[in-house]
């Protein structure tokens, strides 16, 4: 269970189907993807949920233009024709990620808000801060609801003695649920406090003091449950319901260069575009996109697990060799794109979440797979030079070893049969 909880793996398989189809049709995969994008309104998913205000066609066009996809594809073709042992590839992918727990009972959140007589506010909610900026966003929601500076809002660490029975901080839904719960609590307090604020001519601290001496309750418990969702597998297809409250969309265009002789790969440029609605905090959201992309590159290109098997007789059968940073490699400085450009889609309000925002945690991870498909394209050029055409299979993670073996030249072909029959765990796509 990693960022996306199986979703990116399913998306990867589907994109390989499309890539295979494009190869057999002698078309660019990007053209096939473009022809099969969802419409703005009215298209229905395979689980019978109708899509409303889907921006993916607009995002595809905007990213195609801003990344100069057509020109760069032509440049890649020219480069590959002039170079035998260094190859480039470029790929553009869309993504769509449903937001909600598919277990309906988990789609609930609570919060506790206290206002003190000095005008400061203490907030506790059921979400866990793990570096993703959740607490910062909840401070902003509170400050906006009460009309006070963010610096006057303090977050207490999550604890079951203040907010019990919280759902896991997962499914990218925490900002939505706890933001709405905090808003609910703040609205309760402001309903009682507004007359005092008016009397104090907007002086929040003075209003709070007056309310306190007038025995007005300055605390509230807020609660939110995501409405209009739920999926019943026992019903006929069209009656099963809506598993997701809404979707977060994205697109990525990556260009890579591969050393055919060593399998070394670097990302020359990555253009990323995400739809986060009216972002609660653009700086945090851009950081989330950058981090998710990097993790996606690690998942598809770098992070290989090695277990004891027939290929590795020096390992105990079933023993994991890649147990720490000495053997398990994650993305590092050299794996960062030379040129990385991240944009957030404008004018795409989402009325189904707090302050018209969209969730951002898991959706961008799959964008890292654009580097994988760009590398596949570079490998295809190397294979064409070796006289090999048509669809081919490679495994994730597409490590330098696997890139080298897939290039199909005379040296690699001596070992290809053995390498393609390995028993180590991997995803064959």
Assess whether 68 carries a catalytic annotation. Answer: no
Task: Give the H/E segment covering residue 342.
Answer: strand 339-344
DSSP summary character for residue 259: E
Residue environment code for 67-78, b if the CB has 16+ CB neighbours within 10 A, otherwise e: bebeebbeebee
- Bridge partners (DSSP) listed for residue 30: none
202-211 long-range contacts, CB within 8 A, separation 24+: 202/147, 204/119, 204/146, 204/147, 204/148, 205/118, 205/119, 208/115, 208/116, 208/117, 208/119, 209/117
Residue 127: left if φ>0, alpha if ψ -120 to 50, beta else—which one? beta
Q: What angle do CA 300, 304, 305 make, to 5 degrees?
A: 135
DSSP 8-state secondary structure symbol assigned to residue 321: S
Please give the Cα distance from 274 to 286 (Å, whole number): 9
How far is the C-alpha of 79 from the C-alpha of 241, rounded, in Å?
50
Q: Which two tokens stand for residue 400?
A: 């330098």
Reference 206, options 6, 134, 214, 223; nearest CA is: 214
Q: State the burial class of residue 102 (Cβ atoms within 10 Å of its Cβ: 0-12, 13-18, 19+).
A: middle
Two structure tokens written together for 158: 């999550």
The catalytic residue among 201, 303, 362, 401 is 362
Which residues are tagged catalytic?
A: 362
């Amino acid at each position: 269970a990693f960022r996306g909880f199986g979703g990116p793996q399913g998306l990867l398989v589907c994109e390989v189907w499309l890539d295979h189809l494009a190869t057999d049709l002698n078309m660019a995969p990007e053209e096939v993807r473009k022809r099969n994008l969802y419409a703005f309104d009215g298209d229905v998913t395979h689980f019978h949920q109708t899509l409303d205000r889907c921006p993916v066609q607009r995002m595809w066009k905007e990213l195609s233009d801003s990344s100069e996809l057509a020109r760069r594809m032509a440049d890649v073709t020219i480069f590959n024709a002039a170079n035998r042992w260094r190859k480039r590839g470029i790929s553009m992918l869309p993504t769509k990620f449903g937001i909600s727990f598919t277990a309906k009972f988990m789609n609930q959140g609570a919060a506790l808000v206290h206002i003190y007589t000095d005008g400061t506010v203490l907030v506790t909610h059921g979400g866990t801060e793990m570096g993703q900026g959740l607490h910062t966003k909840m401070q902003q929601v509170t400050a906006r609801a009460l009309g006070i500076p963010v610096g006057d809002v303090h977050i207490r660490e999550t604890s079951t003695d203040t907010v019990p029975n919280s759902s896991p901080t997962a499914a990218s839904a925490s900002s939505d649920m706890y933001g709405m719960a905090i808003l609910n609590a703040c609205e309760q307090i402001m309903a009682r406090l507004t007359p005092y604020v008016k009397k104090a001519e907007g002086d929040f601290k003075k209003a709070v003091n007056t309310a306190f001496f007038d025995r007005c309750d300055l605390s509230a418990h807020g609660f939110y449950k995501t409405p209009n969702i739920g999926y019943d597998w026992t019903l006929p297809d069209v009656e099963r319901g809506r598993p997701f409250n809404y979707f977060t969309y994205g697109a990525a265009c990556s260009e890579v260069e591969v050393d055919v002789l060593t399998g070394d790969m670097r990302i020359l440029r990555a253009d990323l575009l995400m739809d986060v609605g009216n972002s609660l905090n653009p700086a945090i959201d851009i950081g989330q996109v950058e981090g998710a992309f990097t993790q996606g590159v690690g998942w598809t290109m770098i992070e290989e697990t090695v277990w004891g098997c027939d290929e590795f007789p020096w390992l105990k059968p079933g023993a994991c060799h890649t147990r720490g940073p000495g053997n398990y490699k994650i993305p590092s400085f050299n794996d960062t794109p030379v040129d990385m450009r991240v944009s957030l889609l404008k004018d795409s309000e989402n009325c189904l979440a707090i302050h018209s925002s969209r969730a951002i945690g898991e959706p961008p991870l799959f964008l890292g797979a654009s580097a994988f498909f760009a590398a596949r394209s570079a490998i295809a050029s190397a294979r064409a030079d070796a006289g090999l055409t048509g669809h081919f299979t490679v495994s994730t993670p597409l490590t330098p070893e696997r890139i080298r073996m897939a290039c199909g030249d005379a040296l690699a072909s001596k070992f290809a049969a053995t390498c393609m029959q390995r028993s180590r765990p991997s995803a064959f796509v």
